[in-house]
Amino acid sequence: MTFDEVDQLKAAIDANDLSLVQSLMLSNPELHGAPLGYGRNGPLTWAAECRGVPLSPARLAIARWMIENGSDVHQGGDGPLMRAALSDDRIPMIELLLEHGANVNALWNGDYPIIFAPCETLQPRVLKLLVDRGARLITTAEQSNCVAMVVGTYSRDPDGKRGCLQVFADAGYQFPDTAPMAVHRGRVDLLEDCLKRDPTILSQRFTQSQIFPAEVGLAPEDGLHCAPLDGATLLHLAVEYHELEIARWLIEHGADVNARTTIDAEGFGGQTPLFHTTITLVLKEAELARLLLENGADPNARATFRKQLQWNGDTEKEAMREFHDVTAIGFARQFQEQGWVNEAAIEVIRACGGE
């Protein structure tokens, strides 16, 4: 096959042009194994992912024809299923792949369980479908690793996160009965139980290992977050994970909107929950910043802290950064990933006198 043929095939798939896909692949059957798509797994992987376009009947027809005429549904360690499983919107594609023998318990690339895909992107309907179709939760450790992906992923969709965690609860997973886990689950009722047992939880500072507990398969340094969480209060955690209802409940029950994280022996730490509003992984909105400010948050609180950003194996971005005597806005302006800056929150903070 030639580079030109591969490029033509990719363009035909992108255009949902079944007749051109058929013409190219019938003329050169080797194209079924072309180094195309995520991880260069093959054309079926590219077709199944529907990158950049909604799943359509035309794309389903292309995938079905490819499978029935020589494309390997298991290419790349079930790469087509893994990529399709990244979105609830692709459930018909997932069902097509499963109809033709895709393996819900495959290891994509040899080490990434297919079930991790919806956990990574917080897609509860896909997760439930895979579990219902036999995706194994063989041991506590394996099950916990799936929960760890949901809790520690870069995705920020509170509804999706709660939905995924509920899928595991329905499958019998026993979550740690802690206040941080109640925040992760978006469960006010569980927080109420925690508060009844321990009236001090609203002022407690939680270590990273308590926020990302070993019981769910996370090491203390795991979990992608924007501002540091070691020594944080529940309100810091709720704001970081965009749990607006939880944050409102915490404030109504006496949580301090100007609480500072623990300051370590070297003098690093001390940021308030407001710092967690100016950097965000997904949602660019002002509601949380507005909630904090309306309840007395200091728009110019300053702190000096360190933040290590683990992202895509980039050693430059993984380096520990120090932010000295910065406000929440100053932190955002110095942050490693300017694409994560929440300008909507900054505008609200600035309107309240923040600098």
Nearest in space to 298 (alpha carbons), one of 213, 343, 355: 355
Residue finishing a domain among 119, 152, 185: 152
Least confident residue range of 111-115, 156-160, 309-313, 319-323: 309-313
Q: Are 208 and 249 in contact (CB under 8 A)?
A: no
Check whether residue 223 and residue 307 sit in a common domain. Answer: yes
The CATH number that applies at residue 236 is 1.25.40.20
Please check whether residue 169 lies inside any domain of the structure: no
Check whether residue 197 and residue 339 sit in a common domain. Answer: yes
Say what the pLDDT of residue 139 is. 45
Residue finishing a domain among 87, 118, 152: 152
What 3-state DSSP class applies to 39? helix
Check whether residue 184 and residue 146 sit in a common domain. Answer: no
Say what the pLDDT of residue 319 is. 66
Please check whether residue 62 lies inside any domain of the structure: yes
Number of domains forming the structure of the chain: 2
Calculate what percentage of the chain has a pLDDT beyond 90.
75
Q: Which residue has the tokens 């409102």?
A: 248
Please check whether residue 191 lies inside any domain of the structure: yes
Check whether residue 190 and residue 287 sit in a common domain. Answer: yes
Q: How confident is the model at residue 189 (pLDDT cuts 50, 70, 90)?
A: very high
Q: Is the pLDDT of residue 152 over 70?
A: yes
Please check whether residue 163 lies inside any domain of the structure: no
Residues 302, 308, 311, 317, CA torsion sign: positive
Say what the pLDDT of residue 349 is. 98
Check whether residue 13 and residue 49 sit in a common domain. Answer: yes
Residue 269: φ, ψ to 5° = 130, -165
Nearest in space to 87 (alpha carbons), one of 124, 136, 131, 38: 124
Nearest-angstrom CA–CA distance, 202 and 255: 5
Nearest in space to 348 (alpha carbons), one of 267, 296, 278: 278
Q: How confident is the model at residue 231 (pLDDT cuts 50, 70, 90)?
A: very high
pLDDT tens-digit map of 303-353: 999 987 655 445 444 567 899 999 999 999 999 889 999 999 999 999 999
**Cα Rg of the chain, angstroms:** 23
Please check whether residue 116 lies inside any domain of the structure: yes
Check whether residue 34 and residue 125 sit in a common domain. Answer: yes
Residue 342 lies in domain: 177-351
Say what the pLDDT of residue 153 is. 87
Nearest-angstrom CA–CA distance, 201 and 204: 5
Q: Which residue has the tokens 């991880």?
A: 39
Check whether residue 188 and residue 295 sit in a common domain. Answer: yes
Residue finishing a domain among 152, 169, 185: 152
Check whether residue 194 and residue 337 sit in a common domain. Answer: yes
Check whether residue 190 and residue 315 sit in a common domain. Answer: yes
Check whether residue 334 and residue 192 sit in a common domain. Answer: yes
Check whether residue 188 and residue 119 sit in a common domain. Answer: no
Check whether residue 223 and residue 99 sit in a common domain. Answer: no
pLDDT tens-digit map of 57-73: 999 999 999 999 999 99
